[in-house]
């Protein structure tokens, strides 16, 4: 594993229960790299992301994420791996019965933060980072879709992760809000974190070109240049 490699799979077969979803996956992603996963629904993008965060076990082949060997990962080590990952979902998964601040507080307490001063400082930092400094007291339903997604990114940044895994993060957003979100994710990547983004939003992929990996026929295919991808073939 090269010094700046943060995610690496070699000859990995990815399963959902007994179903082989992806075969012979060989990819390497470095710190500070922004990578798109593209492909039809069911092509295995989410399954690979779930393997990266140990939601799905890696049963065959080799895989390392943020210094953890996925084939040897013990259940008690999983929280330590996940602290190095920030995860952004399409459907937000915010706790609707508590404020933005309390959503973030919940995550920090769950990952072992104790000092009230440190907690308050960290929440203030991540809300400032996503331009929501004055929205901590709001309930999720009082925010726009774009603001809710920025809270999700703030939540993902709480433990200063090495990797952001974003699964269809612009799926529920309008084009302008999607662009703002993309700029934020690219800025996070420019600051040294690896960002992996599974997406169907091919207009965004064209607008913000980056390394792109295509999922097709149970295979993962490296595409060097975004403009070489036939996006029409990927549409449902």
Q: How confident is the model at residue 236 (pLDDT cuts 50, 70, 90)?
A: low
Q: How confident is the model at residue 171 (pLDDT cuts 50, 70, 90)?
A: confident
Model confidence over 89-106: pLDDT tens digits?
877 789 999 999 999 999
Instruction: Give the model's pLDDT for residue 79.
Output: 86
Interval 206-215 mean pLDDT: 94
Question: 26 or 228: whose pLDDT is higher?
Answer: 26
* b/e code 175-201 from CB counts within 10 Å (16+ = b): eebbbbbbebbeebbeeebbbbbbbbb
Q: How confident is the model at residue 223 (pLDDT cuts 50, 70, 90)?
A: confident
Q: In what order do the strands lie in the sheet with 194-198?
A: 85-89, 163-167, 194-198, 34-39, 211-216, 219-223
Q: How confident is the model at residue 192 (pLDDT cuts 50, 70, 90)?
A: very high
Q: Strands, E, within the chain: which ranges?
A: 5-16, 19-30, 34-39, 60-65, 68-69, 85-89, 163-167, 194-198, 211-216, 219-223
Chain centroid to CA 172: 16
Q: Please state, for a pLDDT cut of 90, what percent of the chain lies above it.
A: 74
Instruction: Give the model's pLDDT for residue 73.
Output: 95
Model confidence over 7-66: pLDDT tens digits?
999 999 999 988 999 999 999 999 999 999 999 988 999 999 999 999 999 999 999 999
How many CB atoms are located within 10 Å of the residue 128 CB? 12
What span, in angstroms and rounded, lies between the C-alpha atoms of 33 and 185?
11
Instruction: Give the model's pLDDT for residue 10.
Output: 97
What are the structural domains of the chain?
1-17+25-84+162-225 (3.40.50.300), 94-160 (no CATH)
Is the confidence at residue 225, as pLDDT, over 80? no
Is the confidence at residue 127, as pLDDT, over 60? yes
Terminal CA-CA length for the chain = 36
What span, in angstroms and rounded, lies between the C-alpha atoms of 37 and 50?
13
- In degrees, rounded to 5, the angle at the alpha carbon of residue 50 between the alpha carbons of residues 91 and 36 is 75
Which residue, among 234, 219, 178, has the nearest Cα to 186 in the 3D structure?
Answer: 178
Question: 163 or 42: whose pLDDT is higher?
Answer: 163
Q: What are phi and psi of 21, to 5 degrees?
A: -95, -45
Q: How confident is the model at residue 152 (pLDDT cuts 50, 70, 90)?
A: very high
């Amino acid at each position: 594993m090269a010094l700046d490699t943060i995610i690496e799979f070699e000859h990995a077969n990815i399963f959902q229960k007994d179903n082989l979803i992806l075969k012979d996956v060989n990819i390497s992603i470095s710190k500070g790299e922004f990578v798109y996963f593209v492909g039809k629904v069911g092509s295995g993008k989410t399954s690979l992301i779930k393997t990266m965060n140990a939601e799905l076990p890696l049963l065959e082949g080799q895989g390392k994420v943020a210094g953890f060997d996925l084939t040897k990962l013990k259940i008690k080590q999983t929280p330590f791996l996940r602290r190095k990952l920030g995860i952004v979902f399409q459907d937000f998964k915010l706790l609707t019965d508590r404020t933005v601040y309390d959503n973030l507080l919940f995550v920090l307490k769950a990952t072992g933060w104790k000092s009230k001063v440190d907690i308050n400082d960290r929440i203030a930092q991540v809300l400032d980072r996503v331009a929501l400094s004055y929205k901590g007291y709001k309930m999720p339903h009082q925010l726009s879709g774009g603001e809710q997604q920025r809270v999700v990114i703030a939540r993902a940044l709480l433990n200063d992760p090495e990797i952001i895994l974003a699964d269809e993060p612009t799926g529920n957003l309008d084009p302008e809000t999607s662009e703002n979100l993309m700029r934020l994710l690219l800025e996070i990547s420019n600051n040294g974190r690896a960002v992996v983004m599974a997406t169907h939003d091919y207009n965004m992929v064209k607008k913000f070109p980056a390394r792109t990996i295509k999922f097709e026929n149970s295979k993962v295919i490296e595409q060097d240049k975004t403009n070489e991808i036939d996006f029409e073939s990927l549409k449902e």
